[in-house]
Amino acid sequence: MRLLIALCGLLCLPLAQAQVRPYEDIIDSGVLKVAVYENFAPYSFKQDGQPRGVDVDLAGTLAEGLGLKLELLWAIPGEKLDDDLRNFIWKGHYLRPEVLADLMLRVPYDRDYSNQRNEVGELVNEQVVMFGPYQRERWQMVHDSKRLPTVDSIGVFRFHPIGVELDSVPSFYLSSVFGGQLGRNTQHFVSTAAAFEAMQGGEVDAVMALRGELEWLLFEAADPVLKTADNTYPTLGQPTWDIGMAVHESNRQLSHAIEQQIEAMVADGRLKALYARYGLSYELPGLYQDVQ
């Protein structure tokens, strides 16, 4: 009976609630909590047990600019970005509901996405502010120039095998474009790195993936035979997009402080230099292209 009473008492205890830290509390704590994606080289990953990547370095710079130490929260992607924003910015994951990030990186900076509404007309992400574009991303191809000298058109993959990550945009695109004519030569792998390794081993002649991922793999491989292709992608809906950040809607003071740092890093070249450390080209987001 005592055990039953004790169990009932535990069930009646309030669940731990995620608490958004106001800007003043963040500063007083001496720590900036930043969510980055796990196992996502070259942006955020661990090498020999140490955090590395563009987003890791950027998070460290932003924390330092606020006079704070960095605490990383490693995010495993959910089925949708909405899930990630809920789990790390405004509600918390059910396995650790009391833990929230102050800032999340690698969030699409897209007005249509920010303003999307649910079936009853409510903003889907009304508790989130998406801001601070710091990179333009795009789709890219890399090919083995010995087996495939040039890629003037994606039509060459009627005759040459190409590797893509399973369930990715390139996977769906190449399997369906031209009425599915490229489908039989589109080979699927568990990751971009696995597809790249297959290209190095001669299983496929090219890979399509995010430009940043491929440039990092090229940088690591240092093989002059592997080349980037500059072809276009017919009927691909959004070949380029901007990457930014997110905070809770109540934390606009933090977003303003971070935005000032990003603007300074773009202006003085520090952001471009940060990307160069990982062998990546840097393309200005549209917000800064418009004012140049």
User: DSSP of 95-155, one letter per residue?
Assistant: TBTT---SEEEEEE--HHHHT-B-TTS-BTTTTEEEEEEEEEEEEEEEEETTT----SSGG
Nearest to 26, CA basis, from 254, 275, 184: 254
Radius of gyration of the chain (CA): 22
Mean pLDDT of 183-209: 97
Specify burial of residue 175 (Cβ count, 10 A radius: 0-12, 13-18, 19+): middle
Query: pTM, whole model, 2 decimals?
Result: 0.88
Lowest mean pLDDT among 46-50, 96-100, 197-201, 262-266: 96-100
The Cα–Cα gap between 2 and 90 comes to 38
pLDDT digits (tens, 9 = 90+) for 124-143: 567 899 999 999 999 999 99
Domains by residue range for the chain, with CATH: 16-136+241-289 (3.40.190.10), 138-229 (3.40.190.10)
The Cα–Cα gap between 86 and 118 comes to 15
pLDDT digits (tens, 9 = 90+) for 252-289: 999 999 999 999 999 999 999 999 999 999 999 988 88
Whether the CB-CB separation of 36 and 73 falls below 8 Å is answered with yes
Where residue 49 falls (left for φ over 0; alpha for ψ -120 to 50; beta otherwise) is left
Structure token pair of residue 126: 């009304």
- Which residues fall within 8 angstroms of residue 11, CB to CB, at 6 or more apart? none
